[in-house]
Amino acid sequence: MTNNVNNLTNKQSYIGSEILQLSNSSGMQITHIGSSSYKFPHISHCFNLHQLLHVPSLSKNLLNVSKFVHDNNVFFEFYPTRCYVKNQATKQTLLQGNHSDGLYVFQEFPAFVSESHNTTLQSSFKLWHSRLGHVSLPVVMNILHNCNITCSPTRNVCEPCNYPRPNNYPL
Q: At residue 41, does pLDDT exceed 70? A: no
- Domain ranges across the chain: 5-121, 123-159
pTM over 0.75: no
> SS3 sequence, 59-120?
CCCEECHHHHHHHHCEEEEECCCEEEEEECCCCCEEEEEEEECCEEEECCCCCCEECCCCCE
Q: What is the pLDDT of residue 119?
A: 40
> pLDDT tens digit string along 118-169?
344 445 667 667 767 777 777 777 776 666 566 666 666 566 666 665 555 4
Q: What is the pLDDT of residue 77?
A: 96
Q: Which 3 state secondary structure label does DSSP give 137? A: helix
